[in-house]
Structure 1
């Protein structure tokens, strides 16, 4: 039986050899930019240039695709640092530099999709969640091994603080779209990581500010307090349960009002989310303006900004985390408004940093400011936002090192 040849000019379609890799890249970028709930199998298939039916031949469900995308990113971090298990290192400084360099290269290669394991990994289930945790633990242990040799005085909690700080700073590049040549990004992140690893961390015996917390503001009017309570309780629930698993009934019950009463203040959950973020952004902007005006010296102003930012993060721990995990649930218009507000805040801090660190360009300072913001979230979560003077001093010192290039001693206030 003779074979029929394709007509002249007809292309013979063949499945690319890297189809699986194409799907992995497309799905990771889609989940990272749109979130787990914002992506469909059809959308991913379209990105790859295949039909949804063809995609289902590779993956039985969206969750299967998501799980592989997240764990693949985690595995890349494990694989790029695997050399640390092969031999005994002779120079712990060199070993640490090699590990940091490998992590930076991997973060840069996955800048469009790295937000997936940072912010969407919470949707992994059971054993899959445990697998991601095990991957990250492996990377931390590899970083901590040469660190232990360099700084044997550190206790376990301090080693974890520093390894998380380094991974946070490196991972911060997936949270923004600031531009800088790759060679400069590598140099900057390596320098920040080295500075963090060398930081003398305050211990519980160190003298820290033990003054009482500022007095609570006077209670607002009844109508205003309902509005404020709705914002506060909503953010608490979004942080604890997640935006999609929090119903209007849950919010109403937390505030002590019928669900229908919420609609006197907000059109829906998305509006609550946007209002809470706008409120926080406005207050942060006001703080920056006031602190800059009160401190003509840029280093004094930057130090005051760091202190205020840390204090606010412990006072309202859910804000930053919920912003990065749930901001995609806002309308596109609200997302754009919040991005512009955040950009304005970052630029105000960048101006101070450049004055203090003239060796940096504004672009380099911008990366450092985002790294500092990432530290506040990741280390705050490590500390479970326990609002103690020691925890605030620890985080303040690491932000000092990141932005000032050194840490400044704060004058301890007498206890009241």
Structure 2
């Protein structure tokens, strides 16, 4: 009976913090964004997350596993945002606007995570790097397919150039602090990205 109570109490303690893996990933992103993932140790990540260093290993077998999970989560977030944009839009122009705005919001809300994504994706093991690049290409294709009907004057290569210019404009904010409020920065990034795409931003009140 005592043993049964002890095991029950132990299971209850483990269930007490279901968000621990998310805290570990967020801590790793904050540390790595500042100085590079290769300089960050597991004990440091645990300390940043408020967890004993050895506790990190209960969720991630290695630092590499943390990086894989972190970049996978970042790509999944972009994919989910793109899917929602395409599902809810009533026109290509609105879909493009939603794609741009979602990317800008991800860049600002998950700045550290996206910074690590751009700096460290090339360090992944081959299998994971290839998988991530396939997903990146598919994500870009969603933008290209949405832009194409709106810019029929552009060749396929020019459409891709415009999309990469637009996403690059948004990504630029990862590497410097503008001093603008998040609201104004989002508005400016969305406008500048549309400038790269050569499309007027969607508005529910065009007049």
TM-score (norm 1): 0.43
Contact map agreement 1:306 1:396 (CA 8 A) in 2: yes
Match of 1:400?
194
Match of 1:193?
none
Contact map agreement 1:271 1:330 (CA 8 A) in 2: no
2:44 matches 1:245: no
Matches within 5 A, 1:161-310: 222-310=16-104
Structure 2: gaps (5+ residues): 1-14
Match of 2:8?
none
- Counterpart CA distance in 1 for 2:179 and 2:21 is 25
- Counterpart CA distance in 2 for 1:256 and 1:403 is 43
Spell out, residue by residue over 1:274-305, the C-alpha distance to the aligned partner (whole angstroms, 9 max, x if none): 11111121121122112111113101110111
Q: Of the two, which has the highest radius of gyration?
A: 1
Contact map agreement 2:115 2:174 (CA 8 A) in 1: no
Match of 2:7?
none
2:134 matches 1:340: yes
- Counterpart CA distance in 1 for 2:27 and 2:151 is 40
Contact map agreement 1:302 1:349 (CA 8 A) in 2: yes
Structure 1: gaps (5+ residues): 1-220, 412-416
2:109 matches 1:315: yes
Runs of 4+ in 1 over 4 A off after TM superposition: 384-387, 407-411
Following superposition, the deviation at residue 233 of structure 1 comes to 0.9
Bigger relative contact order, structure 1 or 2, given CA contacts below 8 A and separation 6+?
2
- Counterpart CA distance in 1 for 2:74 and 2:19 is 16
- Counterpart CA distance in 1 for 2:120 and 2:201 is 33
- Counterpart CA distance in 2 for 1:345 and 1:385 is 30
Contact map agreement 1:369 1:403 (CA 8 A) in 2: yes
Matches within 5 A, 1:3-42: none
RMSD between aligned alpha carbons?
A: 2.0
Classify 1:277/1:342 alpha carbon distance in 2 versus 1 (closer, same or farther; 3 Å). Answer: same
- Counterpart CA distance in 2 for 1:408 and 1:361 is 23
Match of 1:388?
182
Following superposition, the deviation at residue 257 of structure 1 comes to 1.3
SS in 2 for 1:244: helix
Match of 1:362?
156
Spell out, residue by residue over 1:243-266, the C-alpha distance to the aligned partner (whole angstroms, 9 max, x if none): 111111110101111211111111
Point out the more displaced range, 246-255 or 375-384: 375-384
Following superposition, the deviation at residue 408 of structure 1 comes to 4.8
